[in-house]
């Protein structure tokens, strides 16, 4: 008998249930020899990190007035000197051109965007984490055909923080996002400015947006996305790890504190983030999660970040001496730790990635430069978060499951016009999101609202060991959230306040942010009424 986690790399769980017993397969360890940009070999981190600042690709755009954004196909050198087909959002402001701009706006400001689809297939933008009227949310029902446009017009209601925007065309989200249709959305407020002043942070210098993605490339250096049966089932994994679209990136830093706004922009890969100087783990301070700053800084040496999640951290590079290197790594973990035994069965083709889920690898190299260490005092308080009252809250079960070749939510696969359930406007609910042991890790994303994680139950040991905040919660669970990772065998309880002043019924979505799972139908509609 084999642990099903040993089969994770070549067979979906649904096949286990549908096919029964067959011949076991062993997955060979795939060598990185002669493969460029090996993320495991520390000596190969020689590419200067791309840091978004002004106009151009991923330039920071302080939105001032209406924008026209065009979803277009282009060419972009993801690997040095090797142009690759890529998808981009293009726009202009004040005579400057931007591609996949990092949009920055003040809380309370109004966003007006005309999206023009210049692709050969349908698309739409979802404003991930932003509270918008349903018609502005980027629901797949709003998808626009090639040559058509969509008008966005809404007020930015969110706390200051690190959000993002990306495509959400059903059955196309995974491919389009992987090929480039995504970027940051930064919201500013007084809490953010107070932090920046106290720790001397400047965007693009000591405050760095950092999107982490894993990609595959063909022999010509072109981006590759061709999931086989297993990869469509389990989620697409790359084997070259990009930081801000830079493979094997390094950055020279001063001996001082930096802010990293980390976004997991991967389709399916989960990261276990740690900083290492040689074999020594260095501490870092979590200051924010999906929905902005948490109440108080929390020091740690590791944290999980799932697809769609964000983690804002402060890292003191002065923990290393001049000339020393520190690596941001993903530590090894077992994605199927909670599972029991299962029988063997025929496979669906092996993963084409050389980097298994849960493998250990490097993400970013930080080289500490000369100069005196800059000592900065960490603020004791970052923000104020009022807990959602639980008394009188409606309880609702959200059950993740497998049936045949389908991942389901409450026994349903996605149907565009089907409402799974209604919630009452102004109500409070506690959702128990449960994942069967015979399953996969699922990052569950809620559209329309943020939530608070109140409890984790039956967590795997690797998560329970990080539960330092009561009721099984880890540092990644603090503050306001819009995406939460639910491990096999685990139940996560979250509190949601469905208060808003948008008129009429509002239809939003709940779905897995493993994008292959989302496209396969692990998604349901819910409606806010009353």
pLDDT in tens, 316-337: 999 999 999 999 999 999 998 8
Residue 35 pLDDT level (bands cut at 50, 70, 90): low
- Over residues 154-200, the pLDDT tens digits come to 999 999 999 999 999 999 999 999 999 999 999 999 999 999 999 99
- Over residues 92-110, the pLDDT tens digits come to 999 999 999 999 999 999 9
- Over residues 436-479, the pLDDT tens digits come to 998 899 999 999 999 999 999 999 999 999 999 999 999 999 99
The domain limits of the chain are: 2-46+204-368, 48-188, 394-529
Mean pLDDT, residues 401-413: 91
- Over residues 372-389, the pLDDT tens digits come to 888 888 889 999 999 999
Equal fold, 48-188 vs 394-529? yes
Q: Does domain 394-529 have CATH number 2.60.40.420?
A: yes
Q: Measured between alpha carbons, how far is 520 from 122 in angstroms, rounded to an integer?
A: 17
Q: Name the residue with higher pLDDT: 430 or 3.
A: 430
Please report the pLDDT score of residue 134 as a whole number. 98
Distance of CA 151 to the CA centre of its chain: 26
Which percentage of the chain shows pLDDT scores above 90?
Answer: 84
Please report the pLDDT score of residue 376 as a whole number. 84
Q: Name the residue with higher pLDDT: 438 or 390.
A: 390
Q: Does domain 48-188 have CATH number 3.40.630.10?
A: no
Distance of CA 283 to the CA centre of its chain: 22
- How many of the other CB atoms lie within 10 Å of CB of 3? 14
Mean pLDDT, residues 339-359: 66
- How many of the other CB atoms lie within 10 Å of CB of 509? 23
Residue 348 pLDDT level (bands cut at 50, 70, 90): low
SS (H, E, C) 397-419: EEEEEEECCEEEECCECCCCCCE
Shortest CA distance to 123 belongs to which of 137, 150, 143, 100? 143
Distance of CA 475 to the CA centre of its chain: 16
Domain 2-46+204-368 class, CATH top level: mainly beta
For 229, phi and psi rounded to 5 degrees?
-60, -45
Whether 131 contacts 103, CB under 8 Å: no
Q: Is 516 helix (H, G, I), strand (E, B) or coil?
A: helix
Reply yes or no on whether the pLDDT at 69 is more than 70. Answer: yes
Shortest CA distance to 424 belongs to which of 402, 381, 393? 393
Q: Which residue stretches of 40-162 are H helix? A: none
């Amino acid at each position: 008998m084999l642990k099903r986690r040993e089969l994770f790399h070549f067979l979906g769980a649904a096949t286990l249930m549908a096919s029964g017993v067959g011949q076991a397969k062993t997955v060979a360890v795939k060598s990185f020899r002669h493969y460029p940009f090996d993320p495991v070999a520390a000596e190969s981190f020689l590419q200067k990190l791309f840091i978004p600042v002004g106009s151009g690709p991923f330039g920071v755009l302080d939105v001032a007035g209406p924008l026209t954004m065009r979803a277009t196909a282009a060419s972009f050198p993801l690997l040095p000197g090797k142009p690759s087909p890529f998808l981009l959002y293009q726009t202009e402001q004040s005579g400057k051109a931007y591609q996949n701009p990092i949009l920055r706006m003040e809380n309370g400001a109004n966003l007006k965007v005309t999206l023009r689809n210049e692709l050969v297939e349908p698309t739409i933008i979802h404003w991930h984490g932003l509270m918008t009227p349903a018609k502005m949310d980027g629901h797949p029902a709003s998808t626009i055909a090639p040559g058509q446009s969509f008008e966005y017009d809404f007020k930015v209601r969110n706390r200051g923080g690190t959000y993002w925007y990306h495509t959400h065309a059903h059955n196309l989200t995974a491919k389009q996002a992987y090929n480039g249709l995504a970027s940051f959305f930064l919201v500013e407020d007084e809490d953010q400015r107070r932090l920046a002043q106290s720790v001397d942070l400047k965007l693009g210098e000591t405050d760095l947006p950092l999107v982490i993605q894993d990609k595959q490339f063909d022999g010509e250096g072109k981006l590759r996305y061709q999931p086989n049966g297993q990869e469509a089932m389990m989620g697409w994994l790359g084997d070259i790890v990009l930081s801000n679209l830079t493979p094997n990136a390094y950055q020279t830093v001063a001996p001082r504190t930096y802010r990293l706004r980390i976004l997991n922009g991967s389709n399916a890969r989960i990261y276990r983030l740690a900083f290492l100087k040689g074999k020594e783990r260095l501490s870092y301070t979590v200051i924010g999660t999906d929905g902005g700053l948490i109440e108080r800084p929390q020091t740690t040496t590791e944290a999980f970040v799932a697809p769609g999640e964000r983690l804002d951290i402060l890292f003191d590079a002065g923990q290393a001496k001049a000339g020393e290197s520190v690596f941001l790594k993903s530590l090894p973990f077992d994605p199927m730790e909670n599972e029991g035994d299962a029988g063997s069965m025929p496979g669906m083709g092996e993963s084409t990635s050389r980097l298994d889920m849960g493998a250990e690898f490097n993400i970013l190299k930080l080289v500490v430069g000369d100069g005196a260490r800059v000592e900065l005092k960490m603020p004791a308080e970052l923000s104020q978060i009022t807990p959602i009252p639980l008394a009188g809250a409606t309880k609702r079960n959200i059950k993740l499951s497998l049936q045949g070749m389908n991942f389901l939510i409450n026994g349903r696969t996605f149907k565009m016009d089907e409402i799974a359930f209604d919630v009452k406007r102004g109500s409070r609910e506690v959702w128990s999101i449960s994942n069967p042991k015979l399953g996969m890790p699922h990052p569950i994303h809620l559209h329309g609202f943020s939530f608070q994680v109140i409890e984790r139950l039956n967590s795997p040991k690797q998560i329970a060991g990080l539960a330092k905040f009561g009721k099984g919660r880890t540092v990644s669970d603090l503050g306001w959230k819009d995406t939460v990772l639910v491990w096999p065998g685990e139940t996560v309880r979250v509190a949601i306040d469905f208060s808003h002043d948008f008129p009429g019924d509002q239809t939003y979505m709940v779905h897995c942010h493993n994008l292959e799972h989302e496209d396969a139908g692990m998604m349901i509609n819910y409606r806010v009424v009353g």
